[in-house]
Chains A and B, each alone.
Chain A
């Protein structure tokens, strides 16, 4: 795992094109897929989308032909990679089933990153949003049972508990209160930078997905729930991206993006149980190494900076790993469910003054029904109880336990 990508040549970018048959991959079987294979697919799709969007933003800052062509080339390859990755999602997996997969990613990725995050403030940022994505999983799981008679635990296979987190209705904060102080790029642990870049990509993808698929349903409750949670994901992207240091140049950010993708693909490769998909992770890892070399060369040539000055001598020893985090999530839930934000700071809701803008926005947004509450109310009316998959005992927060 801990190799130095700068010492590898990877696959030259010009040799990375694939034909349509290679991109039109065979999807996994949703009935038999390992949930963490699904989450790996979702994460890497998010990583590729972020790489593409970043490249587009960078390309808009320059009219240098050679640089724009390099970016366009890399972006086209990223697009091919994204097709191959996203194509692993089967067509018979409904958008809501994919959504449950997205939230399983959010919970277990965020929890794992938080557990391995060396910086206490960045860990706090991860823990804060973790409880919100945890609650989204619960709300979508209730929608899944209500609309489709679906049992979300068949998708998550008990690896991730499904129960209330910080209630979605209470997550709506004033935009000013979503912006956090950022790490300092020189002093930051390289692992922390990669953690932040990874979670930004994952949350951004979730935000985009809900923005676009919220209208896939006829049922107003489903449409409303997606609209409500999509806005929370916007909050999460603002929250996480504000942790990034704006001092880094476009070229440095390009290098950091590619380096992080090498880290992620090599992580996925190391733990993938599906041999066919493991081979795809390996192929893409080698492609990213080739793309990293292009970005490094551009930075070396145009900014006069050697990539080895910026990057650590090797990838982190510990790969990003999808695994259960139930005990950790419960611990964070028990300790911090009442946290809110006040400007850049985290505060307990009880410490917010009555005239805080949080309460004003809550009243404004939640005054005419809240889809995330209605979905659970309707599920209770239909089934006599809400849907949850609690595997490790009673909910740690008394008020959030199943009503008697």
Chain B
């Protein structure tokens, strides 16, 4: 259970979501209640498809959760010239989140203003990899829907201050059986479907379900990015310096 939540959170990590209903709140709170002391590392193949062509990146992802909070590090391994590209997200036990991006020009913090910045030139943005700010969205539960012959719990998140934002609404689909986040639809202020994240294929590792292939579509740019999780290691401890901004 712990790992399936963590794996889902690697791609669209939703912790401490503000909710109107206690039921939804309790449901989403379980995400943050599990995973204490867990270490996970992934090797991910990122394939970026755009009208300009296809690009591939190999990414190493590290995740850690304990009672003090959670950490996520993504770093490009290939191509070699992008090795300095890194993404670090740290969240303390109160859910306060800090994000750094490293590039050849140095390390910089990412503010809310830059949350739309693309990560590693892909269709995923900083906001997609980070959690939803507790002051940013309000959530309501919708009737369940069937997607790919599976019953999904559906939660609708509306941006509290939508003015000027590109994406103002998110619709989350969660597998009722595995509690894995299977799909997110991103809507503009006009209600147009702007982006879609979807788990295409899952896999079992040590008896726990993980996403294996997932896809993010950006409809306006006619581009999409596919993440293929190639290796999962849940036993090796991740060195503490991986999650320290001073070592980026």
Real binding pair: no
Binding site for A on B (CB under 8 A): none
